[in-house]
Chains A and B, each alone.
Chain A
Amino acid sequence: MLSIARKQILEGLFNLKFLFVAAVVLAAFAANGFIYAEKIANERSDWQELVNKNLADLGTNCGNLQEMSDFWQRVTRPASTLSFIADDGAVRMPNLINVNAFFIQGIERQSRDNEQIPLIQAFDWCFIVGVLMTLLAVLLGYDTICGEKRDGTLRLVLSNPVSRLSLFFGKYLGLLVIITLTLLLGGLISITILVFNGIMMLNEQIVTVLLWSFLLGVSCLSLFLLLAMAVSGIVSRPAVSLVVITTTWVIILIAVPGLARMVAEQSVAVPSPYEIEKNISDSEINFWESSPDGAGNWSGDPFDWFMPGRAKLHLSIVSAKQRIIDSALTQKSLQMKALNIFSSPSPSVLLSDSLQCLCNTGVYGFDNLIDYAGKYRNQLHNLVVERDSLDSESAHLVYCGSDGQTERRTFSTKPVDSSIIPRWHTMWADGGLPREQQWPVWQLVILFALNLQMAILAFIALLCYDTR
């Protein structure tokens, strides 16, 4: 078996087509290093600027407790140091949200992207491994069995005391070693460029993530290799095998995610902007009309916003509104996750999904942003409530000023020391990675299961193969 593997490695390495594709892949990895060295550096300086601006604004705009609670902060997600492995996907993922002590709302995208250039795909490892290198795996594996038959060597090999099992594993291992070496070399090139540009320090977390990425990448590539070997063991001519594999490859790459989108849109409903708006206004009207003590009675003094009944009414409106906005956001990310789950038959999507999970980009980064923004809002809100409870003159009715025009006399207007206000940027770990790293375990398990299944299929195909 080992001698077959060695032979396969040598054959592969000195093959012109391999050398050519490998050169393209390595060049792509180098380009990835340079592109992201610049991109991440830019994103970092933008994040730093935003942090400084927020700090300055907190100092100038949060004189008293009410100003502080109403003050909208525009907060972003810091650029992930590892975005070179998996970036946000094909089109820009929102990375900015507005927060005050009562609301999180208004997701946007703020970055140096040029909207005038159609961004086809990010030039990250997901693209290089999931698209370019799978092509390499397919090209290496498409003629493993039927090519040997065409050359007449298959019968020769099998006439020796070599079992079909060891032939199969020898070939598989040989090709896998070549691919793994290419991936390792490419990854090292890209990492070296980034480390030398001062973008990344290799600490424990980053090294673990890198190892996971290699593992996921190799298992995805191995799957394509096994697929190629299986097809090559079913058909009799290499050309047919390549046609079948290429067709499968195209289907995996575009049809599965497309179909998954259809299923996801059907299975998880996302309210349209108008439904959200209507829900909010309906609940508002409902509260106004059903409020006790005539608090919702419009025909009073328009400036009498400080009546306790009115304040309570506002409090319930605000929390209902926030619930509606929050649930719409959750639905959106749920739909996106459903899409990822339904596309998991496609190994490329599985790979990019799990890498995004590792690097905290894509829908995972978005979820993290929403999650942290929610926590940050609660921190601010708790601070306001706590400070307000210390004020003996306050009515302790903390609610959001709906128009910002009248001074509410329902809670404290005592000045606040801006240094006690929690800071957004302290919520994030360095490099935009999550504080508790999630590991894409189930994605890896699925990849392994698919690998095993494909290996069995390929082996059975080889067992039944007519070597003549």
Chain B
Amino acid sequence: MFGVLFSKEIREHLKTFRFGAALITTFALVLMSVWILGDDYIRRRDNYNRIAERAAQAESEVFVPSFLFPVVHYPPSPLSIFAQGEDRHLGNSVVIDRWEVPRGATDSLTDNVLLNAVPSFDLLAIFSMVISIFGILMSYDSINGERERGTLKLICLGKTSRAQIFLAKFAAGVCVIALPFLISFIGSLLVLQMVHGIGFTLVQWLAIFLMILVGLIYGALFFALGMLCSSLARRSSTSLILSLLLWATGVLLIPDAATNIASMLEELPDPTEITTFEQVSYRETREKISVHVISARPDGDISIMGVSGLVIPKPYLFDGNPAMYRWFADVLKFGEPLYQKRAEEVWQVSRKHEDAMIRQAELASLLSTPAPAYHLRTALTALSGTDYSVNREFIESARRFRSAFLKRMWDEGLFGKNVFKFFSRRPLAEALSEEGWARRYAEYRAREDSGEKEDTFINPRLWGELPPGLVPEFVFEGGNPDFEAASWPITALLIATILAFYLGMLAFSRYDVR
């Protein structure tokens, strides 16, 4: 009997106008979204490749450690086509600076940040709005509609239990919702393969499969909610209004209001505090160094090359003047640790802000828990590796990278006994002797007279290489599908669906079929 009911329901659904509307709308929307975001992904990937290329080139051109500012980066995830998440406005790279602890990524990969003001049009948006609304439109009259037509009595007269009837209706409905959804998803994957030529790895395929599953559970939840409303209300128009209100609350109102309420309840400290502290501490450090510079400089001239800001001059400028060479080494030994200490202090101040932000974000998630759309969002962004935690992990690895990098520099003695190596690759003895400099200068003149292009005198790259292994390897294990983070929202959606189904069945078992 279950099978008969099930197939009857499916046949009936397939013939309805709303199914046709759902099929066409979903298909068109999904294809369009994938088309746009596929293009967008390719553009971002190209921009990213340029960043990576440029970083590698810049690093290969560096000849002294003082010029070394490694750039760490991670590629945009191809799954961001399905759920853009935070990927679209957060950057993917960080420049490692000895004087600054990384706090946020720079270089947003999108060409036009202004376009981000438009609500995103990814699969996530389509799922959360369209699938849910079709779930409701399919189910709002499943019980009371049959009562209005008078067929409910007839079905209940048979031997089938009410639970079976309810289950058959639910199962058929979910299968019918799955259809437009699967068709458009397969279509979109084809578009990505054929038009954009974007391929996925095995893990990403698994994530895509899970995304489809989450979408289906989400649709099933709204179908069950529609059935619940349908078994509670006598008239189908009442249940429609009721379920649409539930939809508007769970999809539009709660997620939006929660973020706003969270920002009212948990106040963030004033952001200008950080910038003020940054500027004041920079000025203080600079002043300390200036005093040292003035007292120590042999010729008393401090205007040259902004040394108090520790802008490293081209090494050859001091050649031939051992006193200047030593003096600059002394300034470095004095100043560099001060700037590095300041970086830590600034980081301590901004960490308070970051903690407050995390607290606020946690409060917002807590407040959004009743909204199914929130769980869908969390699950899909986690699966596509575009949620905020990816960015946070990236910044954290950048920080670890920076400390490892600085440690290597200290270990090499670049701010201590080997400070000459920090800004010059010349042999110390040669740099400090008048004769050595004179010899190099003579060589340089000879080369210039012979018309040789390569200027060995002012091209210190030719004097040697960086100490090997100075730049540690950057390790970042993120940006991949995060199945663990997705499991909780998936479970929540599943529990909600079961609960809605159970309540609906309960209401139906007491339903007056007349």
Q: A270-287 vs B: 1/0 string, CB under 8 Å?
A: 111110000000000000
Given the interface pairs A49-B270, A274-B50, the reply to whether A116 lies near B114 with Cβ below 8 Å is no
In angstroms, Cα B89 to Cα A11, docked, is 48
Which of A185-193, A199-207, A216-224, A238-246 lies at the interface with chain B?
A: A238-246
Given the interface pairs A31-B260, A120-B255, A246-B137, the reply to whether A90 lies near B116 with Cβ below 8 Å is yes
> CB of B5 within 8 A of chain A?
no
Given the interface pairs A255-B29, A261-B118, the reply to whether A271 lies near B361 with Cβ below 8 Å is no
In angstroms, Cα B303 to Cα A131, docked, is 62
Residues of A within 8 A of B29 (CB): 251, 254-255, 258
Residues of B within 8 A of A270 (CB): 111-112
User: B86, A243: Cβ atoms under 8 Å?
Assistant: no
User: A94, B113: Cβ atoms under 8 Å?
Assistant: yes
> CB of B182 within 8 A of chain A?
no
* Residue from the list B21, B141, B248, B260 in contact with A135, Cβ < 8 A: B248
Q: Which of B103-138 contact A (CB under 8 A)?
A: 104, 107, 111-121, 125-126, 129-130, 133, 137
| A147 and chain B: residue at smallest CB distance | B237
Residues of A within 8 A of B130 (CB): 250, 254
User: B272, A46: Cβ atoms under 8 Å?
Assistant: yes
In angstroms, Cα B104 to Cα A91, docked, is 17
User: A132, B248: Cβ atoms under 8 Å?
Assistant: yes
User: A407, B303: Cβ atoms under 8 Å?
Assistant: yes
* Residue from the list A21, A120, A135, A261 in contact with B121, Cβ < 8 A: A261
Residues of B within 8 A of A93 (CB): 114, 117
Given the interface pairs A89-B117, A239-B240, the reply to whether A118 lies near B89 with Cβ below 8 Å is no
> CB of B271 within 8 A of chain A?
yes
In angstroms, Cα B263 to Cα A302, docked, is 54
Residues of B within 8 A of A135 (CB): 244, 248
In angstroms, Cα B247 to Cα A21, docked, is 12
> CB of B262 within 8 A of chain A?
yes
Q: A111-144 vs B: 1/0 string, CB under 8 Å?
A: 1101111111101000100011001000100010
**CB proximity of A239 to chain B, nearest CB, Å:** 6
* Residue from the list B22, B115, B245, B358 in contact with A24, Cβ < 8 A: B245
| B378 and chain A: residue at smallest CB distance | A118
In angstroms, Cα B89 to Cα A89, docked, is 14
User: B115, A243: Cβ atoms under 8 Å?
Assistant: no
Q: Which of A363-394 contact B (CB under 8 A)?
A: 363, 366
> CB of A70 within 8 A of chain B?
no
User: B90, A118: Cβ atoms under 8 Å?
Assistant: no
**CB proximity of A169 to chain B, nearest CB, Å:** 25
> CB of B198 within 8 A of chain A?
no
Residues of A within 8 A of B133 (CB): 246, 250
Residues of B within 8 A of A131 (CB): 252
Given the interface pairs A116-B388, A118-B86, A254-B121, the reply to whether A242 lies near B36 with Cβ below 8 Å is no
User: A258, B33: Cβ atoms under 8 Å?
Assistant: yes
> CB of A339 within 8 A of chain B?
yes
Q: Which of A75-124 contact B (CB under 8 A)?
A: 88-94, 107, 110-112, 114-121, 123
* Residue from the list B118, B244, B360, B364 in contact with A90, Cβ < 8 A: B118
Given the interface pairs A242-B240, A254-B126, A333-B114, the reply to whether A114 lies near B268 with Cβ below 8 Å is yes
In angstroms, Cα B113 to Cα A20, docked, is 39
> CB of B28 within 8 A of chain A?
yes
Q: B12-40 vs A: 1/0 string, CB under 8 Å?
A: 00000110011001001100110110010
In angstroms, Cα B307 to Cα A21, docked, is 68
In angstroms, Cα B260 to Cα A112, docked, is 12
Q: 20 other contacts beyond A35-B264, A118-B388, with CB at 8 A cut-off?
A: A20-B241, A24-B253, A50-B272, A89-B117, A90-B118, A91-B117, A112-B263, A123-B256, A123-B257, A132-B253, A239-B141, A243-B18, A247-B22, A253-B129, A257-B119, A271-B111, A274-B50, A335-B115, A366-B114, A405-B311
Measuring CB to CB, which residues of chain A are less than 8 angstroms from any residue of chain B?
17, 20-21, 24, 28, 31, 34-35, 38-39, 46, 49-50, 53, 88-94, 107, 110-112, 114-121, 123, 127, 131-132, 135, 139, 143, 147, 238-240, 242-244, 246-247, 250-251, 253-255, 257-259, 261-262, 264-265, 270-274, 332-333, 335-336, 339, 343, 362-363, 366, 404-405, 407
